[in-house]
Amino acid sequence: MRRTVIILAAIMLVTVSLVGCSPSPSIAYQGGVATAGTNVGSGGIIVSQQNIGLWVNGLGKTTAAPDVVVLTLGVESQQKTVAQAQKDAIDAMSSVMQMLKDNGIAEKDIQTSQYNIQQVTRWDDNQDTYVVIGYRVTNTVTCKIRDINKAGSIIDKAVVAGGDLIRINGINFTVDDPTPFYKIAREKAVQYAMEKARQISQASGTRLGKVLYISEDTSYTPPMVGNYAMKYTAMDSAAAAPTPISAGELEFQVTITMVYEIN
């Protein structure tokens, strides 16, 4: 009796193993598009595929002049004590913030992006270790300047307001509402993808059917602007000409992928 039970258990184990090794269906779906010769693993992950239909993509571009300057600036103070370093940073940053408001920058367009208090150390050969020689306080804000023509003068005024503690960390350009520019680029991308599909269809002797799948990818290329990770002094600002700012153009891109049924 015991031998019979062992034999039956072995037969059941072999049967379960064979069922577990059976291949997955050869038809799967990707974004609503049927694919042949596909094995689907656990969780619907496509292991390999051979796409059915005609896949084409189109790239649409348009350019626009920026209407907003995004300026990153702040103050940096270093003293022997945290209290003194923080006081100097507060005084300098308060002057910078007041200058921004006096020049028409709304409070909603000013945002603190970084605030750090760090020890400043140096290596001491006699003690064979690092020793603390002071403390550094950094306070950085990002502000939106909605009148591009004011950007250069605001940078100069920030230098005067912040004195030797001012730091100009970067400048970028954008548009307040990119929607209409993406719309233009999207229309161009769709037209280009459709024209490409018609050309391929004619050249290959096939007939286009209905559209099975559409996807979109958007991006924009900002103008190339250098990083102003620099230290200024009020004397430098007074002696120099107003800071020149060139906004350039922004390029908006939309890529459309379309899948056609073909006959």
- Report pLDDT digits (tens) over 58-101: 999 999 999 999 999 999 999 999 999 999 999 999 999 999 99
Residue 180 lies in a domain: no
CA dihedral 4, 7, 9, 15 (to 10 degrees): -140
223 backbone dihedrals φ, ψ, rounded to 5° = -65, 150
Tell which wins on pLDDT, 19 or 214.
214
pLDDT at 223: 60
Identify the bridge partners of residue 85 per DSSP, sorted by sequence position.
Answer: none
Classify residue 81 by its DSSP letter: S
pLDDT at 51: 63
Separation between Cα atoms, residue 216 and residue 58, nearest integer Å: 10
By the 8 A CB rule, do 206 and 74 touch?
Answer: no
Q: Which two tokens stand for residue 20?
A: 């577990």
- Same domain for 72 and 114? yes
Residue 256 lies in a domain: no
Residue 62 lies in a domain: no
- Same domain for 28 and 131? no
What are the respective helix, strand and coil percentages of the chain, to the nearest 5? 35, 40, 20
- Same domain for 86 and 156? yes
- Same domain for 26 and 108? no
Q: Which two tokens stand for residue 213?
A: 């799948």
- Same domain for 120 and 151? yes
- Same domain for 164 and 79? yes
Separation between Cα atoms, residue 222 and residue 238, nearest integer Å: 31
By the 8 A CB rule, do 237 and 162 touch?
Answer: no
By the 8 A CB rule, do 71 and 151 touch?
Answer: yes
- Report pLDDT digits (tens) over 3-59: 444 444 444 444 444 444 444 433 333 333 334 444 444 444 333 344 679 999 999
**Is the backbone of residue 128 left (phi > 0), alpha (psi -120 to 50) or beta?**
left
Reply yes or no on whether the pLDDT at 181 is more than 50: yes
- Same domain for 44 and 133? no
Residue 105 lies in a domain: yes
Q: Which two tokens stand for residue 86?
A: 């923080």
User: Among 1-10, 121-130, 141-150, 161-170, which stretch is predicted with the lowest mean pLDDT?
Assistant: 1-10
pLDDT at 128: 86
Classify residue 150 by its DSSP letter: G
Residue 103 lies in a domain: yes
pLDDT at 240: 56
- Same domain for 29 and 103? no
- Same domain for 131 and 237? yes
Reply yes or no on whether the pLDDT at 229 is more than 80: no
Question: Domain containing 76 — which CATH number?
Answer: 3.30.70.2970
User: Among 80-89, 207-216, 218-227, which stretch is predicted with the lowest mean pLDDT?
Assistant: 218-227
Buried b (16+ CB within 10 A) or exposed e, 164-175: bbbbbbebebeb
Neighbours of 73 (CB within 10 A): 25
The burial of 18, by beta-carbon neighbours within 10 Å (0-12 exposed, 13-18 middle, 19 or more buried), is given as exposed
Q: How many domains does the chain have?
A: 2
- Report pLDDT digits (tens) over 94-141: 999 999 999 999 999 999 999 999 999 999 888 889 999 999 999 999
- Same domain for 17 and 113? no
- Same domain for 114 and 167? yes
Q: Which two tokens stand for residue 209?
A: 């059917």
The range of the structural domain enclosing residue 31 comes to 2-52
- Same domain for 116 and 237? yes
Reply yes or no on whether the pLDDT at 177 is more than 50: yes
By the 8 A CB rule, do 158 and 230 touch?
Answer: no
pLDDT at 222: 66
Task: Name 47's Cβ contacts closer than 8 Å, sequence gap at least 6.
Answer: 38, 39, 40, 41
